Every structure is written in structure tokens, then in C-alpha cells.
Amino acid sequence: MTYKIQHVSNQFDQVIQTKIDGKTKPLGALGQLEVVAKQLARVQALSTNKVDTLTVDKPQLIIFAGDHGVASEGVSIAPSEVTGQMVANFAKGGAAINVFCRQLGWQLSVVDAGILHAPDEQLQVINQRLGATTASIHTDAAMTLETVEQGFLLAEQLIKQIKEAGSNLVAFGEMGIGNTTAASAIMSALMQVPATESVGKGTGISDEVVAKKQQVVEQALTLHKDKLSEPKQMLACLGGFEIVQITGAMLAAAQEKMHILVDGFICTAAAMVAIQINPAVKDYMIFAHCSGEQGHTKMLNWLEVEPLLKLGLCLGEGTGAALALPLIQASVAFYNEMASFEQADVANVV
């Protein structure tokens, strides 16, 4: 698949900056909120050709779940069966992400991208299965290139449905025992760093398991070294079904001129691959938080982006992205509603 993603334009930058600077505050006093407002305005101008007001409409968070063959190597604190159990928990509304989505006004969808056991049909889970589990990345390719393309197609169709339902902001969460191993391998492959820099303790594994995880990642990088220069091939070799569909969904969302709120370590790995496929997708991304996973700071630095939050989160599920929504809404609110010096009859402090 190819994506027609339009780079944002600087056509309205002066108008946007003048509007922001004219608010009743010192220049730059709202910090990152001003940066976010400018980014939102640039993206929305592509569709409306206007920058007078901003909107965040029907924010949608999608959790993609997938199982990983490498989990059988003991690289996680839990067995693969927990992926399916958590998917059921998401569908029943009992997880942290459900709590935050209800609190903050997200619409939440759960996608089975390929977990070990398909969920009960009575649960509200979208079926986009690419298989039951990937192959172990240190002994084989995780999946075929054809499977990657199928995952991209399914993700694009889902994003189109969400766009048609009126959403202009989307975030992604993930669930998949073993997926930090896949994300670490992707990080190492893209950034050309050893597994000691990309593999961390995740949700609290022991030093012994960290060493095992590092070994598996190094084996995977060596096994697939001739196929890691092309991003889709990299996904086929090292990725997970959920990582593939998150990558495809990010590209599809940018193609639809939607805002993308990027979550933690695994979602940032997907974002890195998406940027390799089409660099214009980065124009649409806002990075929600820096997680407690040791490689995430390095990823964000490599991408030269500034996250909105740093809360030490290591949960995944999209929780960091969910918690960043009020900051996005605050950026919209000050841009739309805050008085200018002229309107407020206040002496300009510039």
C-alpha cells in the first residue's frame, strides 16, 4: 500500500503566531500548549483553509491487541493467555484505559489484531485477526510481507470509518504479551543501537529476564540483518500484528488529515516505522508522554520531539495518550476563547 499524505504548510504560520501572541499573556507564556495549538491549526488548515478557530471532534482511542511467539521464550512477566484476558477486560470496561476514557471523554474501540484465542463473540471486539500469534522473531520472520499489507488495509478501513463518524483526533493503545521485545528490536534496527540500549525492565521483569530479552533481540537482529533496511520488511521480520496495524492506522489517519496522539514505547516504535514509510506522517503526530520504559526517552530524542507528559507510566493500553487529551483541549480552548490585548483593553506586554 502507498499513502498520499500531505505535508502541513507554513502558509498560515504568521497568522497563527500573531493570533497566539496577541492573547493576554507574555510571549510564549503557555509553553507547549502554544506549540500544540500551532500544530493543530496547521493540520486543520489543510481541510478548512482557515485558522480562526480549532476543534477536537469525537476523540477516538483504539486498542490493538496481538500475541507474540517470542513470549514463549520467557521474556515477559506473564504468559500469552493474559493478552486475551485483558482484551476481555477492555471489552467489559474494567481496565485503566476504560476508566480514563470514561473520565476524559474518549470513545474507545478494541481490536483483535491477532491474539492466541479469539474473544467471545458476545464481547464488543472488532475482528481484524491476522493470525493467532506471530512466529518467534529470533528464529523466523514474525509474519509474511503479505500479512503486513493485509494489516495495513484493515487499519485503513477502520480509520476511514472513524473519520466518517466525525472524529478528527485518534490515539492508539496496545496489548500483547511480548510486544516490548518486538518494539525493542524495531528500535535497535532503526536507531542502530544494541539491545542493551533498547531493552528495559518493562513492567518489572528481573535482571535475568532482561538479559534473556536482550539476547533474543540480538539474535533477531542478526537473523534478519539483510531485510531491515526496508520498513515493511522490518515489520514482517520483527513486528507484531498489533504493531503492524497501529503503524498502518497512523499512516491512514494522516492521509485523512486527522491528528494523531502517540502513546508510549510500543506505539512510538510503530510511529518510527510509519515515519520511515512516509515522513509526512510526523506532521500529524503529537507525542503524549515519555513512559518509564528506558528506551522511550532515547526514541523521543532520536525523533526530536517533546512529549507533553512524564508520569513514569509503564502500562501501555494507550493510557498516556488518554491522559494527554485535556492538554490538547486546553490548547484548543485558549486559542479559541482567550481574549486578545485589544479585546480585553489591556496594554500589550510585548
- DSSP label at 72? G
- DSSP label at 52? S
Question: Among residues of the chain, what percentage have pLDDT more than 70?
Answer: 99
**pTM of the shown model:** 0.97
pLDDT at 201: 78
Mean pLDDT of all residues in 69-97: 95
Is 192's pLDDT higher than 90? yes
pLDDT at 50: 96
Question: Among residues of the chain, what percentage have pLDDT more than 90?
Answer: 93
Question: Are 242 and 134 contacting, i.e. CB atoms less than 8 angstroms apart?
Answer: no
Confidence of residue 272 (pLDDT cuts 50, 70, 90): very high
Q: What angle do CA 132, 226, 264 make, to 5 degrees?
A: 55
Active site residues: 317
pLDDT at 220: 98
Which has more confidence, 41 or 201?
Answer: 41
- DSSP label at 9? P
pLDDT at 350: 64
Is 205's pLDDT higher than 90? no
Mean pLDDT of all residues in 280-294: 97
Is 92's pLDDT higher than 70? yes
What is residue 127's three-state secondary structure? strand
How far lies 324's CA from each of 61, 94, 209, 263, 336, in Å?
12, 20, 32, 9, 19
Is 349's pLDDT higher than 80? no
Is 121's pLDDT higher than 70? yes
Alpha-carbon distance 149 to 152, whole Å? 5
pLDDT at 338: 98
When the pLDDT of each residue in the chain is averaged and rounded to a whole number, the result is 96
Alpha-carbon distance 272 to 24, whole Å? 38
Q: Model confidence over 212-248: pLDDT tens digits?
A: 999 999 999 999 999 999 999 999 999 999 999 999 9
Mean pLDDT of all residues in 249-266: 98
Contacts by 96-99, CB closer than 8 A, 24 or more apart: 96/315, 96/317, 96/319, 97/61, 97/63, 97/173, 97/317, 97/318, 97/319, 97/322
70 Cα distance to chain centroid: 22
Output the nine-digit C-alpha cell for 46. Answer: 489543510
Is 348's pLDDT higher than 90? no
pLDDT at 62: 98
pLDDT at 194: 97
Question: Are 55 and 166 contacting, i.e. CB atoms less than 8 angstroms apart?
Answer: no
Is 65's pLDDT higher than 90? yes
Please count the helices (runs of H) and the strands (runs of E) in the chain: 14, 6
The residues, ordered by sequence, that sit 6+ positions from 265 with a Cβ below 8 Å of its Cβ are: 180, 183, 291, 293, 295, 296, 299, 316
Amino acid at site 12: F
pLDDT at 153: 98
Mean pLDDT of all residues in 341-345: 92
In DSSP terms, 63 is beta-bridged to: 110, 173
With cell 476563547, the residue in question is: 337
Domain 60-332 has CATH 3.40.50.10210: yes
Neighbours of 340 (CB within 10 A): 14
pLDDT at 54: 98
